[in-house]
């Protein structure tokens, strides 16, 4: 067999890198290896050794004999460096699915918070294979206070059952552990934040390409049947309908395949429901702000009524001048919509998705209803649009208003709900939770009319920017059955607890929107092409079928437009469907300096990094990395170098072992303390015009002006300011490396970095 010199060089370089990295591995234990376990004083407590991936041994922690939340554990010792910062890496098999969680305890202290902390638990589980047929590794930093002056430390890995993060009581939040954990194959201690396993360790390989065969278009028949059954049930209901039920009927009225299509009963049912809502509102005016019959009640108020009136204005018009008791219906509806709009103008929300919902349903739709009912009570369309512009990042978000319409500007007069490049800010990059494309699509759809069939042009351009930015956070993977698929990147997401991210091409399906919603709302050619890739991979019907497993009404309502959207995408001309991060595509870099995140495709390597990582209160010197090759995947929380304008104040890390925010959430009965508790973190200077109190969550307090991260063969420098940064010193080992943006070698020892830009170097 002949091997080209180029290929042989690649092998030798990889071999050298592996040896160099592993030489920095201080210690390791392989579970199931008697010699290794004995050397590290491994003790299994309600745990067992299993044979797992690639016929390798692992330890699996078992559920408790009596129902409770905490299961087995394993204890051991590992060598550490007594003077430098240490890291611990765990090895898992990528096919394993579990909802159990693994907690790392070192020297009796808990490493990481259980939910959305600066450092995560060792393992939070996954509801699909994390990396099919391959191993993945998780790296956590160990506080210097635990290892300083020590040559070895005691370690425990404890097992817990799943959590429901929205649970407000112990019983609803922490669930019992009822099944064994996934296998833990090895633990490693090292001082280099980049862990590369020894070349002798088996890693698996990329699964062979295979396309999903089922399900097929029959799923849409089931969808239509489900929707029509719900319509029939609502039209026969003896009680008046809620807002969301009426909204569903109002939308179905225009859909030809439904049982609601142009039915007089729909109009009569809706009038009955609106009248009842008004009567209830007169008894309880707070309904205008918060209707308990809707989800997230105070985001919507009675604004859905405005949308209903807008959708069916011609059909409802004959009823407006009739009486409800002693009040003209037009005046009655006007009163509750005006009250709704005012209450939501004075109670706007800062997080992007909440801002969009509040401003669309709490302000814009009520105003649309007022334009139809009583134009003199309505805001000019340009003023109403301004709220939407602020929510989607076209104009600065100015906060809640007083009763005279003066904005509070609690975040100053230059805070934007999206970055200039189109990502949401909550406070940094967000994966699953940051998928606001359903709401962006609804906002654009709301501005469409007979005279403006494409909607507001400015919002349309912004919607396309947001959707295209998200496509860099779709990476090639497999679905649960091992079929080719794209997934949304969640490992580096601030508010993400769902690994791996959902199967997703353009839009992540939600309760309220399907995978093609933003595509057909904008009709952008690239988005159409990427949607067709989902059809080519036959993942569309599978995603819809999975969504339909949720039998709730909200999902039923969200399914209504899916068949029409499917037909539009299916019948569009086929274009190149390869997405930016596909293995077959050219190298690509997407950086968003406002969110502190970068996405890199470099040959057969993908690297996502959140350099601004869960720094809610202060500078925490941590970055989050997700690195993938065809052979393995890595999750790592590592040290990052930062430059920032120091306020002179410090934040003392509280002993929050559960939530990393919100006063720590529920308290655990295990008596553990957070290893990082008591650390003093510097606070970056907050602009003088921003309302801020020490200890508050704030988008400025933990944000640096410059980030530098070295991870393996990559060196990333991000300038988060509006000024050119000169004389950025390049590490010696990266002089001669390739600038992946230009494909040119960096030969100088210092570089200048342009405002709001990122340099990515790669050493071969």
pLDDT in tens, 661-679: 999 999 999 999 999 999 9
Question: What band does 425 get if pLDDT is binned at 50, 70 and 90?
Answer: confident
Instruction: Give 316's Cβ-side CA count (13 Å radius).
Output: 27
pLDDT of residue 554 exceeding 80: yes
Q: Can you read off the two tokens belonging to residue 258?
A: 């439904």
Name which residue leads in pLDDT, 459 or 352. 459
User: Percent of the chain at pLDDT above 90?
Assistant: 91
Work out the average pLDDT over 89-98. 98
Interacting residues of 106 by C-beta distance below 8 A, sequence separation 6+: 88, 142, 146, 153, 154, 155, 156, 675
Judged against a pLDDT cut of 80, whether residue 423 lies above it is answered with: yes
State yes or no: pLDDT of 123 exceeds 90: yes
Q: How far is CA 567 from CA 241, 448, 510, 528, 579, in A?
A: 31, 20, 20, 12, 21
Q: Which pLDDT belongs to residue 3?
A: 34
Residue 375 pLDDT exceeds 70 = yes
What is the per-residue pLDDT for 177? 98
pLDDT at res. 652:
97
pLDDT at 5 over 60: no
Over residues 335-348, the mean pLDDT reads 97
Alpha-carbon distance of 737 to 714, in angstroms, equals 9
Average the pLDDT over each of 3-12, 272-281, 596-605 and give the range with the smallest value. Answer: 3-12
> Token pair of 583, please?
């293995």
Average pLDDT over the chain, rounded to whole?
A: 94
Q: For the segment 315-337, what is each residue's pLDDT rounded down to a tens digit?
A: 999 999 999 989 999 999 999 99
* pLDDT greater at residue 432 or residue 612: 612
Q: Which residues of 209-231 are buried (b: 16+ CB within 10 A; e: fewer)?
A: eeebeebeeebbeebbeebeebb
- Tell me, what's the pLDDT at 351? 86
pLDDT at 434: 74
Q: What average pLDDT score do residues 90-96 get? A: 98
Is the pLDDT reported for residue 19 higher than 50? no
pLDDT above 70: residue 10: no
- pLDDT-derived band at 17 (thresholds 50, 70, 90) equals very low
* 38 upstream amide cis, omega within 30 of 0: no
Instruction: Give pLDDT tens digits for 748-764.
Output: 999 999 999 999 999 98
* Per-residue tokens: 734: 């990266």
> In this structure, are residues 426 and 352 in contact, taking their beta carbons and an 8 Å threshold?
yes
pLDDT class for 21, splitting at 50, 70, 90?
A: very low
What global pTM score does this model have?
A: 0.94
11-25, 60-74, 269-283, 295-309: segment of lowest average pLDDT: 11-25
pLDDT at 11: 33
pLDDT tens by residue, 440-462: 999 999 999 888 999 999 999 99
Indicate the range of 319-323, 392-396, 588-592, 661-665 predicted with least confidence: 661-665
Token code pair at residue 438: 């359903």
Report, in angstroms and rounded to the nearest whole number, the Rg of the chain calculated over CA atoms.
Answer: 28
pLDDT higher than 70, residue 1: no
Whether the CB-CB separation of 630 and 620 falls below 8 Å is answered with no
Q: Note the Cα 32 to chain centre separation in Å.
A: 36
Q: Using alpha carbons only, give the angle 284, 290, 296 rounded to the nearest 5 degrees.
A: 150
- What is the C-alpha separation between 732 and 728, in angstroms, rounded? 12
Per-residue pLDDT, 76: 98
Q: What is the pLDDT of residue 420?
A: 96
- Residue 450 pLDDT: 85
Average pLDDT over residues 142-157: 97
Does the pLDDT at position 6 exceed 50?
Answer: no
Tell me what the mean pLDDT of segment 37-41 comes to.
98
Helix (H) or strand (E) holding 443: helix 437-446
Transcribe 202-253 into DSSP letters: --B-PPPP-------THHHHHHHHHHHHHHHHHHT-SSPPPHHHHHHHHHHT
Band (pLDDT 50/70/90 cuts) for residue 433 is: confident
Could you give the 3-state DSSP secondary structure of residue 264? helix
Split at pLDDT 50, 70, 90, the class of 689 is confident
Picking from 477, 421, 472, 467, the residue whose alpha carbon sits closest to that of residue 592 is 421
pLDDT in tens, 698-755: 999 999 999 999 999 999 999 999 999 988 999 999 999 999 999 999 999 999 999 9
If pLDDT is split at 50, 70 and 90, which confidence band does 2 have?
very low
Work out whether the CA dihedral 93, 94, 96, 98 comes out positive or negative. positive
Instruction: Report the chain's terminal Cα–Cα distance, integer Å.
Output: 25
Q: Would you state the pLDDT for residue 23?
A: 43
């Amino acid at each position: 067999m002949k091997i080209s010199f180029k290929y042989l060089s690649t092998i030798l370089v990889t071999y050298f890198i592996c040896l160099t990295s592993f030489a920095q591995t201080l210690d390791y234990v392989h579970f199931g290896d008697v010699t290794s376990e004995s050397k590290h004083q491994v003790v299994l407590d309600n745990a067992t050794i299993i044979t797992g991936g690639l016929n390798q041994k692992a330890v699996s922690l078992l559920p408790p004999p009596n129902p409770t939340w905490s299961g087995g554990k394993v204890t051991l010792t590992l060598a550490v460096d007594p003077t430098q910062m240490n890291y611990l890496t765990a090895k898992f098999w990528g096919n394993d699915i579990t909802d159990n969680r693994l907690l790392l305890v070192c020297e009796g202290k808990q490493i990481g918070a259980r939910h959305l902390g600066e450092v995560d638990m060792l393992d939070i589980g996954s509801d699909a294979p994390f990396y099919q047929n391959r191993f993945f590794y998780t790296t956590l930093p160990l506080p210097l206070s635990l290892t300083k002056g020590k040559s070895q430390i005691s370690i425990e890995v404890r097992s817990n059952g799943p959590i429901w993060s929205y649970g407000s009581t112990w019983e609803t939040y922490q669930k019992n552990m009822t099944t064994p954990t996934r296998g833990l194959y090895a633990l490693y201690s090292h001082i280099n934040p980049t862990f590369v396993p020894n070349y002798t360790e088996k890693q698996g390989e990329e699964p062979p390409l295979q396309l999903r065969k089922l399900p097929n278009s029959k799923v849409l028949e089931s969808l239509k049947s489900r929707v029509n059954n719900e319509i029939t049930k609502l039209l026969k209901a003896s009680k008046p309908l809620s807002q969301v039920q009426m909204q569903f009927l109002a939308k179905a009225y225009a859909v030809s395949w439904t049982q609601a299509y142009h039915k007089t009963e729909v109009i009569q049912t809706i009038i009955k429901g609106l009248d009842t809502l008004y009567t209830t509102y007169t008894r309880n005016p707070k309904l205008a702000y918060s209707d308990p019959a809707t989800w997230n009640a105070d985001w919507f108020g009675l604004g859905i009524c405005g949308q209903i009136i807008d959708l069916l204005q011609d059909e409802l018009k004959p009823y407006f001048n009739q009486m409800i008791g002693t009040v003209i219906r037009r005046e009655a509806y006007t009163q509750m919509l005006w009250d709704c709009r005012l209450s939501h103008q004075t109670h706007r929300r800062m997080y992007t998705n909440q801002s969009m919902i509040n401003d669309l349903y709490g302000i814009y739709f009520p105003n649309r209803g007022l334009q139809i009912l009583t134009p003199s009570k309505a805001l000019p369309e340009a003023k109403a649009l301004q709220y939407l512009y602020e929510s989607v990042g076209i104009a600065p978000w100015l906060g809640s208003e007083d009763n005279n319409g003066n904005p509070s500007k609690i975040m100053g007069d230059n805070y934007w709900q999206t970055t200039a490049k189109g990502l949401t800010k909550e406070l940094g990059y967000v994966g699953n939770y940051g998928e606001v494309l359903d709401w962006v699509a609804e906002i654009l759809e709301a501005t469409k009319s007979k005279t403006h069939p494409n909607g507001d042009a400015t919002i349309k351009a912004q919607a396309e920017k947001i959707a295209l930015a998200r496509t860099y956070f779709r990476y090639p993977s497999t679905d649960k059955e091992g079929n080719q698929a794209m997934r949304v990147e969640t490992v580096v997401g601030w508010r993400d607890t769902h690994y791996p991210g959902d199967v997703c091409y353009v839009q992540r399906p939600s309760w309220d929107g399907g995978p093609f919603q933003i595509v057909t709302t904008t009709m952008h050619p690239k988005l159409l092409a990427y949607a067709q890739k989902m059809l080519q991979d036959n993942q569309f019907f599978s995603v819809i079928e999975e969504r339909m497993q949720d039998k709730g009404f909200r999902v039923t309502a969200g399914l209504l437009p899916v068949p029409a959207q499917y037909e539009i995408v299916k019948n569009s001309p086929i274009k190149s469907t390869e997405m930016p991060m596909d293995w077959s595509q050219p190298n690509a870099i997407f950086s968003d300096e406002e969110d502190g995140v970068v996405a890199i495709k470099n040959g057969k390597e993908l690297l996502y990094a959140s350099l601004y990582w869960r720094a809610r209160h202060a500078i925490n010197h941590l970055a989050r990395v997700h690195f993938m090759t065809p052979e393995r995947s890595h999750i790592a929380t590592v040290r990052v170098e930062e430059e920032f304008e120091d306020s002179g104040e410090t934040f003392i890390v509280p002993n929050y072992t559960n939530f990393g925010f919100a006063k720590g959430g529920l308290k655990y009965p295990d008596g553990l303390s957070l290893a990082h508790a008591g650390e003093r973190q510097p606070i970056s200077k907050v602009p003088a015009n921003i309302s801020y109190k020490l200890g508050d969550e704030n988008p400025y307090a933990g944000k640096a002006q410059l980030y530098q991260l070295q991870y393996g063969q990559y060196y990333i420098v991000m300038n988060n300011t509006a000024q050119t940064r000169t004389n950025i010193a390049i590490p010696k080992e990266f002089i001669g490396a390739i600038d992946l943006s230009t494909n040119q070698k960096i030969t100088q020892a210092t570089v200048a970095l342009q405002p709001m830009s990122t340099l990515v170097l790669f050493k071969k």
